[in-house]
Amino acid sequence: MLYNVKKPILGFENVLQVELHEIDGLFSSLDAIGSEIISWTLVNPYQLREYSFDIPKDVQVLLDIKEDSDFASCSTNSENNYLIYQQQLKELQEINEALEAIKTNEYGICKMCEEPINPERLKIKPFAKYCIDCREIVEKEGNLR
C-alpha cells in the first residue's frame, strides 16, 4: 500500500511517499518511494503487549483521527504475544549491543575468537556476536547469546 508522508520523518525529510509491505503479523517493511533507497522495518506494537497509547494532537489532526476511534486504543493479550515480546526484547538488546559495538569499532568482530565475522552472516543476522564456528561452540555449551 502506498502512503503519502504527512509529517516529515526526522532525518528523512525528503521522503514524501512510502510503501508498506506486511512481512508477517509482527513485522512490516516501510520503503521510501523515490530516488533514495531507504527501508525501515516496523514492529507491530499490538503484537508485543497489551497496548494503548495517546496519539499526539497534531498527528491526530494530520491523520484525521477521532479521539475514541479503535485506532487510538487497542489491546491484545495472549501468552503467544508475550513470548514474542520476550523474543523482541532480546533482539532489541542485541541490536543495542551491536550499535554500541559500532561506536567502539568492535562491530562484526567475533566476541570469542576476535576474528571478523563473515559479512554474509552479518547480512542475515546483523547483530551476530559470534562467527559461525564459535556460535556452534557457544550453542553446545547451552548459553547462546
Residue 68: DSSP 8-state? T
Q: How far is CA 35 from CA 5, 20, 28, 97, in A?
A: 15, 17, 21, 31
Nearer to Zn ion, 26 or 112 (CB): 112
Least CB distance from residue 40 to Zn ion, whole Å? 31
Binding residues for Zn ion, how many (CB under 5 A)?
A: 5
One of 16, 55, 112, 122 touching Zn ion (CB under 5 A): 112
Is 110 a residue that touches Zn ion (CB under 5 A)?
Answer: yes
Q: Which stretch binds Zn ion (CB under 5 A): 16-24, 55-63, 77-85, 128-136?
A: 128-136
Near Zn ion by CB under 5 A: residue from 16, 43, 134, 138: 134
Q: Does 128 bind Zn ion (CB under 5 A)?
A: no
- Told to check if 15 binds Zn ion by CB under 5 A, we report no
Separation CA 41–CA 18 (nearest Å): 12
Choice between 66 and 123, CB closer to Zn ion: 123
As measured in angstroms, the least distance from the Cβ of 121 to Zn ion is: 11
Residue 113 interacts with Zn ion (CB under 5 A): yes or no: yes
Q: Give the CA angle between residues 14, 16, 21 to the nearest 5°.
A: 120
Query: Residue 21 and residue 32: Cα distance in Å, rounded?
Result: 11
Residues linked to residue 21 through DSSP beta bridges, in sequence order: 29
Could you tell me if 38 and 14 are in contact, meaning their C-beta atoms sit under 8 angstroms apart? no
